[in-house]
Structure 1
């Protein structure tokens, strides 16, 4: 989780950061991505790498959001760019914040907690970071610098057979949300913080959008319960089951307890335009969206 001094806190962190959290209480709009047909995915009920999988990067734990593919047939899992950050939780400007380089290894895991990294279920490589890309380009859009917090981990070829693109519990995503969210619209998420001790029954969250900020780059939301350290990067669906965004921050003020959700349409559009991955697109889930608790 990112923290902007008095307003927001990052949701990623090392085991030490997570432990202290327990003790203390984490462009322009591009054309929509085209859904990609998958040759074969693992069955949703047995897949080990899905939206909501825990992702460990140099000791920091985050939550995977959606599955993506490219024109060469590679498979990616998204998470927050700050999950590979090397600075403090107060580093919120992606155009200045430091990050591990592309090529950094990332571990997919299940059941991680404060005392254990859980069971490793696969490996991948950091293949795109909005932070690194914006710095390389000399990005000057203040909203992009503040809210474009998106990265892609390329799943190792040996582990692609373990992947399913459906969100646990909720199903979907149906497609990419291209028109944002209005205040009061229902949202759905699945965070998998180590703070929950590997109990995924605590992961599904439902709430409401507060609209959009940053000229559409971010959506403040309230959910029950709010995202906490380790939930960083997790997926948000809109009321129709479309992929709305990715969890980035926890607000301390003025909307205490709300989360900042990066707009996936803008984040993915930026990656498509500047990330150097040809044919990059969201992969829809194999399971229908089911918003009933």
Structure 2
């Protein structure tokens, strides 16, 4: 499923909920209005909360109700790693479309929970991207790869997949080898391996949201379809 915020088209990731509403996750930078080189959420320009967001398959637009970028600016966040890698936004689903949404990650199923432990170099990861650059060729959307290690004090995981994430895959759900939500695909890198991707850590991003977001307790919705990891 894709989301379109202004001129930015991204792949949605996970489904979230609080006591009253359901939300689709996307990368916060998908609503950015600055240059592609503006990657610090504490200094980059972005569209405001309340911005309508087109959701693929929905009859009505959703509404941008949380952005880590907006929240960090408002709260004068000073931690460099948080500013660089906290890249999560939530789009409130219109009540008319709530019954159309399934929390399962396409192809793989899950998530089965949230990854809260360190991921080791070489550990398996899985992700599903829906970039328009693939011209609707769904066999290219599921991607399997491995971790290249963490950075930013655990705020980000560098991963390599076949095929790599490309523009339009930003925001994609990334799973660990046992189906837990590892994070959100946020960047395309040239190092340590050309074509590798940065993945914002879901446990930290959701914790930040719940501490600063003003939406009440927000939780990750678990997949209703059983997780499966294809044979290596």
TM over 0.5: yes
Of 30, 35, 39, 1:83 maps to 30
- 3-state SS of paired residue (2:104): coil
Give the structure 1 partner of residue 225 of structure 2. Answer: 287
The answer (yes or no) to whether the contact 1:170–1:289 under 8 Å persists in 2 is yes
Unaligned runs of 5+ in 1: 1-52, 111-119
Instruction: Say if 2:178 is the partner of 1:240.
Output: yes
Tell me, yes or no, if the aligned pair for 1:109 and 1:122 is still in contact at 8 Å.
no
CA distance in 2, matches of 1:165, 1:185: 24
How far 1:122 moved relative to its partner?
4.5
- Give yes or no for the alignment of 1:66 onto 2:4: no
Spell out the pairing of 1:99-114 with structure 2 (5 A cutoff): 99-109=46-56
What residue in structure 2 maps to residue 170 of structure 1? 108
Provide TM-score, normalisation by structure 2.
0.97
Q: CA deviation digits over 1:178-222, x for unaligned, max 9?
A: 113111110000000010112222100000011211000000000
CA distance in 1 between partners of 2:110 and 2:44 (Å): 33
- Structure with bigger RCO (C-alpha 8 Å, 6+ apart): 1
Give every structure 1 segment of 4 or more consecutive aligned residues whose post-TM-superposition deviation is greater than 4 Å.
none
Higher strand share: 2
CA contact (8 A) 2:62 2:94 kept: yes
Does the 8 Å contact 2:174/2:182 carry over to 1? yes
Matched, 1:57 2:5: yes
Which residue of structure 2 aligns with residue 142 of structure 1? 80
Cα RMSD of the aligned pairs, angstroms, is 1.1
Q: 2:37 & 2:111 partners in 1: Cα distance?
A: 31
Structure 1 length normalisation: TM-score?
A: 0.77
- Number of residues of Structure 1 aligned to a counterpart in Structure 2: 231
* Structure 1 position 280, deviation (Å): 0.3
Would the alpha carbon gap of residues 286 and 215 (structure 1) be closer, same or farther in structure 2, given more than 3 Å must change?
Answer: same
Q: Secondary structure at the match of 2:83?
A: helix
Distance 2:198 2:126 in 1: 14
Among residues 133, 142, 152, which one is paired with 2:71 in the alignment?
133
Deviations 1:37-62 (A, max 9, x none): xxxxxxxxxxxxxxxx1111112100
Deviations 1:2-41 (Å, cap 9, x if unpaired)? xxxxxxxxxxxxxxxxxxxxxxxxxxxxxxxxxxxxxxxx
Is the contact made by 2:55 and 2:61 (CA closer than 8 Å) also made in structure 1? yes
Contact 1:123–1:159 (CA<8 Å) still a contact in 2?
Answer: no
Task: Compute the displacement of 1:121 (Å).
Answer: 5.1
